[in-house]
Structure 1
Amino acid sequence: MLRDDDSPQVQAASAPDQARRGRGRPRDGSMEPAIMQAGWALLAERGYAGMTFEDLAERAGCSRPALYRRFANKRELIIWMLDNAARDTDPALPAHVPPRTVLIENLWGFVRHLGGPAGVATPELSQARRRDPELSVALDALYERERRPYLVALDAALKGALPAPEVSGLVDNMIGAVLFRAGLQGQKLKLAQIEQIVDQALLAGRASLRKPRARQA
């Protein structure tokens, strides 16, 4: 999903972005593909609980100390894997794209994300987070970062007139619809279906704006 600072536009790679990635990003870039491939394979084969750094190191062709220098634990590894998988499907949008287009392209990128290894791992991670509160917190933090461009774009589409909690709820509904259908049910969504999901959210937001609201005391 598209990264965003203050507007739903594509941001160039920068020093702050590099700093955000922070601890856990492998210092030897040549190791990344092997670690990523091995991590997804092991997660699919053995589940989160069954993954070990020993098996990961053997399959990736590196040492356990090399992994521990980069990742403190499996949670850091999983978040790094998910973050990189999301980057691979980020939409490349020009500046000043209409908010509706930003929403559609981000949701379509999410469909591609779920169609890759991250999508295969979604049901397993949904179960694992129930057993690991720290993993759940880490996944929630990643989700909050990923949903920001949706919040900005939907708020812009509705001219900033809808309260933030209602905007947030509409964004969760859009992402949740795609996650349920493509990630959990394995449906092959089409672009027209993504456009429909976005338009339904926009219609719901505009309908909410027409409702009378209680006056503030």
Structure 2
Amino acid sequence: MEPAIMRAGWELLAERGYAGLAFEELAERAGCSRPALYRRFANKRELIIWMLDNAARDTDPALPEHVPPRTVLIENLWAFVRHLGGPAGVATPELAQARRRDSELSAALDALYERERQPYLLALSRALKDALPAADISALVDNMVGAVLFRAGLQGQTLKLAQVEQIVDQALVAGRAMTRKARR
């Protein structure tokens, strides 16, 4: 039942937007009952977070330990490109609008983002030998993720791996420059 709910949820979100997503139509498309949906999800906010969480997990890279930080950054950012190239990419602009109208959705999306950005924060901090404060590392991560989100998620560009590598390398260069400046 979950794959059918996921598929129907993405379809409806793309067609009707967050505000127009109704459990009744979702249940019909997924081939289940509305009460079955409500047993699983208290509301559409929970449904959306579940959909995004599962879509993100489907593209997360499986990396062995002791992979160089640059590789971790590239693989995670490349996974994000794939994530945005799937159903979640269609929903990204709509959810950006919906979060303005729904503070609980906004808070849930923020919590999901914080969890998803942990591999970036750890890898970038490791790459820069823990020489920058957490706020600077966080800003660099936001710049990397934001570049991909803007290009792939909002503009619908098809990014190549070389472009992802360039984004990561720019963040590393900027981080090293910040580290040198902080030491002066």
> 1:162-177 residue pairs with structure 2 within 5 A?
162-177=132-147
The 1:80–1:200 alpha-carbon spacing in structure 2 relative to 1, beyond 3 Å, is same
Q: Which residue of 2 aligns with 1:26?
A: none
Q: Which amino acid aligns with 1:168?
A: S
Measure, in 1, the Cα distance between the counterparts of 2:118 and 2:64.
Answer: 18
Please point out which of 54, 61, 65 is paired with 1:84: 54
String of CA shifts for 1:153-211, please: whole Å, max 9, x gaps.
Answer: 00000001111100000000000000000000011111111001001000101101111
- 1:52 is the counterpart of 2:22: yes
Measure, in 2, the Cα distance between the counterparts of 1:87 and 1:205.
Answer: 28
Q: Which amino acid aligns with 1:38?
A: A
Please point out which of 132, 135, 141 is paired with 2:105: 135
String of CA shifts for 1:82-102, please: whole Å, max 9, x gaps.
Answer: 000011111121221000000
User: With structure 1 as the length reference, what TM-score do the two structures score?
Assistant: 0.83
- 1:65 is the counterpart of 2:52: no
Measure, in 1, the Cα distance between the counterparts of 2:31 and 2:179.
Answer: 57
> 1:2-151 residue pairs with structure 2 within 5 A?
31-151=1-121
Shift of 1:212: 4.3
The 1:99–1:212 alpha-carbon spacing in structure 2 relative to 1, beyond 3 Å, is closer
- 1:185 is the counterpart of 2:155: yes
Identity rate of aligned residues, in percent? 85
Higher relative contact order (CA 8 A, sep 6+): 1
SS of corresponding position for 2:159:
coil
Q: Which residue of 2 aligns with 1:198?
A: 168
SS of corresponding position for 1:143:
helix
Measure, in 2, the Cα distance between the counterparts of 1:95 and 1:208.
Answer: 27
SS of corresponding position for 1:94:
coil
Runs of 4+ in 1 over 6 A off after TM superposition: none
Q: Which amino acid aligns with 1:91?
A: P
Q: Which residue of 2 aligns with 1:8?
A: none
String of CA shifts for 1:99-139, please: whole Å, max 9, x gaps.
Answer: 00000000000000000000011011011111111111110
Q: Which runs of 5+ in 2 are unaligned?
A: none
Q: Which amino acid aligns with 1:66?
A: A
The 1:54–1:159 alpha-carbon spacing in structure 2 relative to 1, beyond 3 Å, is same
Shift of 1:213: 5.9
Q: Which amino acid aligns with 2:41?
A: F
Q: Which amino acid aligns with 2:85?
A: G
